[in-house]
Structure 1
Amino acid sequence: MVQILYLNVGMPEEINWNGKKEQSAIRKKRVAQAFLSKDSFRGDGVAATEFHGGPDRAVCFYPMEHYTKWSDEFGKDLAAPTFGENISASGMTEADIYIGDTYKLGEAVIQVSQGRVPCSKISKNNQIGQLLKRVVETGYTGYFFRVIQEGMVYEDSEIILLERKQNNMSILRANKIYFHDRNDYGAIEELLHIDELAEEWKKNLATLLKHKN
């Protein structure tokens, strides 16, 4: 059981990055409370629907530990929530969390569904060109939850583990398979056997298996 460090929501807005205007919801703002539905927090939205949004990606989490790592590596102070996450906590890195883990968060119940597939906007928002590359290389992507039970969430809500479905496929291991070991068909099949894995990941991994032979 840990307490979340903040709760952030935000709708897409036009942002000027190096003279080019883009729609993004990465610059979320802190709120005291928000209702969490099956699709998202009330008042939260996405622009890049290929990477964010939908029932399997209703809540975005980014581990607090990574802020220190990236700040040290790039010599620049990165202040949360600059990765566009809704919530964060310490002690819940990708190596600690397993697909299917089910948590109580405030009045809601949420379940880990997939690692985050990051897009270029995390580099643009932090003005670090190599950040996206390093996030993918390390697997420090953060991850998503689906919503099992809707309810209110508060900025000081505790996140309490209710059930661990399996203890073999962490988010970090799943990220390694999904981003790097795309010819490891045995590992892909193992990942696909996890019912709680997000549907889009299942679809994309099943496509890889079609090229097995």
Structure 2
Amino acid sequence: MHSEGIIASVNRGTVFRADWAGRMKRTAIDKRPAAGPVAVRRLGLDGDEQADREHHGGPDKAVYAYAREDLDHWQERLGRGLHDGVFGENLTTRGVDVTGAVIGERWRAGSALLEVTLPRTPCRVFQAWVDEPTWVKTFTEEGRFGVYLRVLSEGEVSAADPVEVVHRPVHGITAAAGLAAGRGADADLLERITALPGAAAAWTAVLEQARTRSRRRDGAEDATGL
């Protein structure tokens, strides 16, 4: 076990109406730092909400973490300030290698035990919230996705609590690499991911999508004689 960094802030948000928020016209993407300790439950933080429960929340996406260092990077690129929680993250970290987090990696954050499951996939609601017309493409190409975490042991988290990586699987496959494999139709790597103990069910869907894209690509190549 070794110290990795700290929690810069613990962020929560409630559902609000917005015309730009997709078909539902509702979102809870605006997370704000909480004062004092916050309970971490199996399905997320006490007092936090999700509007679109089909794509957000649930055991495999109970907590979303994003690095303050990456927010600082985006501040420079966008030329404006970004407060903790602005990307919809529950935990803004400092000193934690979030982008390099391995699938199945376990963090002791406060008194809770969390496990890395998935990268964040940017959507049109996120793009509208940031108010950048090419945000989905820009965010994806940059590769600073943040990670979703499942709650293995409930507890409490507060700003300034340490984050300790207590387990890092030897397979070395990062959540970010998994998303890149899905975009590149790398079925071999995705098959390895789906075979990992405790792999989130969403990885199976990503694998099937990659296989479909690969079949379409192969069919196009056959049709053109390539």
- Output the TM-score relative to the length of structure 1: 0.88
**Residue in 2 aligned with 1:5?**
8
Is there any run of 5+ residues in structure 1 with no aligned partner, and where? none
| Equivalent residue in structure 2 for 1:106, among 81, 104, 110 | 110
Offset at residue 151 of structure 1 (A): 1.2
- Could you tell me which residue of structure 2 aligns to residue 119 of structure 1? 123
- 2:160 is the alignment partner of 1:163: no
* Post-superposition offset of 1:127: 1.7
User: What are the ranges of 5 or more consecutive residues in structure 2 without an aligned counterpart?
Assistant: 216-226
Distance 2:158 2:59 in 1: 20
Q: Which residue in the other structure is 1:29 paired with?
A: 32
Secondary structure (helix, strand or coil) at the match of 2:180 reads helix
- Corresponding position of 2:195: 193
- After TM superposition, give the deviation of residue 166 of structure 1 in Å: 2.7
Contact 1:112–1:143 (CA under 8 A) maintained in structure 2: yes
**Which deviations, in whole Å up to 9, do the C-alpha atoms of 1:158-187 show, x marking residues without a partner?**
111111123420122112112x211x2222
1:1-213 paired onto structure 2 within 5 Å? 1=3, 2-15=5-18, 17=20, 22-31=25-34, 32-178=36-182, 180-182=183-185, 184-206=186-208, 208-209=210-211
Bigger shift: residues 143-152 or 24-33: 24-33
| Distance change (3 Å), C-alpha of 1:15 and 1:21 | farther
Q: In percent, how many aligned pairs have the same letter?
A: 24
One-letter amino acid of the counterpart of residue 4, structure 1:
I
The code of the aligned residue for 1:205 comes to L
- Please say if residues 112 and 144 of structure 1, whose CA atoms lie closer than 8 Å, have aligned partners that are also in contact: yes
Tell me how far apart the structure 1 counterparts of residues 43 and 175 of structure 2 sit (CA, whole Å).
Answer: 21
TM-superposition CA deviations, 1:69-109 (whole Å, max 9, x none): 22222323323221010012233344421000011111111
Secondary structure of 2:192's match?
Answer: helix
What SS does structure 1 have at the residue aligned with 2:45? coil
- Alpha carbons 1:3, 1:156 under 8 Å: kept: yes
TM-score by length of 2: 0.83
Q: What's the offset of the Cα at 1:114? A: 0.7
Going from structure 1 to structure 2, the CA distance change for 1:97 and 1:21 (only over 3 Å counts) comes to: closer
Paired positions, count: 210
Displacement of 1:210 after TM fit?
Answer: 6.8
